[in-house]
């Protein structure tokens, strides 16, 4: 199974947060699954950390590469096709980062690991 982590799902995985569902723990922890982390999420984390809206257990530039390697997550770059696909999405959701993740999941055929039920309205399979 190929899945794309929403930003909060990545953080909760890294921090072993109790809000992470059992299903997500099983899917992300299964070595047979390919788990993707979007560059859009890295950008979101960087912005929120810089604004003081997110407290991390270390510097993002150290934490992120360490956790990606430790967990075997694959980095999904943002392509022009991903960015352009956002324009064709209905306005079910207004968060630009989530909209980009939806576009990436749709184009790449990935299931989206997210607690946000609204994102399923875009026709992507939501895992939670």
Structure tokens at 18: 């109790």
Task: Scan for tokens 């530039």, then name that residue.
Answer: 61
**CATH number of the domain encompassing residue 116:** 3.40.50.1010
Q: What element of type H or E holds 26?
A: helix 22-29
Count the domains in the chain.
1
pLDDT for 36 equals 99
Identify the domain containing residue 76 by its residue range.
Answer: 2-127
Q: Would you list the DSSP string of 38-107?
A: EHHHHHHHHHHHHTTS---SS-HHHHHHHHHHHHTPEEEPPPHHHHHHGGGS-SS---HHHHHHHHHHHH
pLDDT for 59 equals 93
pLDDT for 88 equals 95
94 has pLDDT over 90: no
93 has pLDDT over 90: no
Mean of per-residue pLDDT scores for the chain: 96
pLDDT for 37 equals 98
Residues facing residue 113 across a β-bridge: 5, 127
The predicted model scores a pTM of 0.95
Q: What percent of the chain shows pLDDT beyond 70?
A: 100
Span 48-81, pLDDT tens digits: 999 999 988 889 999 999 999 999 999 999 999 9
83 has pLDDT over 90: yes
């Amino acid at each position: 199974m190929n899945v794309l982590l929403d930003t909060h799902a990545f953080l909760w995985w890294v921090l072993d947060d109790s809000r992470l569902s059992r299903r997500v723990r099983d899917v992300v922890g299964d070595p047979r699954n390919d788990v993707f982390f979007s560059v859009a999420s890295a950008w979101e984390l960087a912005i929120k950390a810089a604004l003081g809206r997110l407290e991390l257990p270390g510097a993002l530039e150290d934490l992120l590469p360490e956790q990606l390697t430790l967990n075997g997550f694959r980095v999904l770059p943002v392509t022009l096709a991903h960015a352009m696909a956002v324009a064709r999405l209905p306005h079910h959701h207004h968060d630009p980062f989530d909209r980009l993740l939806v576009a990436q999941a749709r184009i790449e055929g990935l299931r989206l690991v997210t607690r946000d039920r609204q994102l399923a309205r875009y026709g992507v399979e939501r895992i939670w």
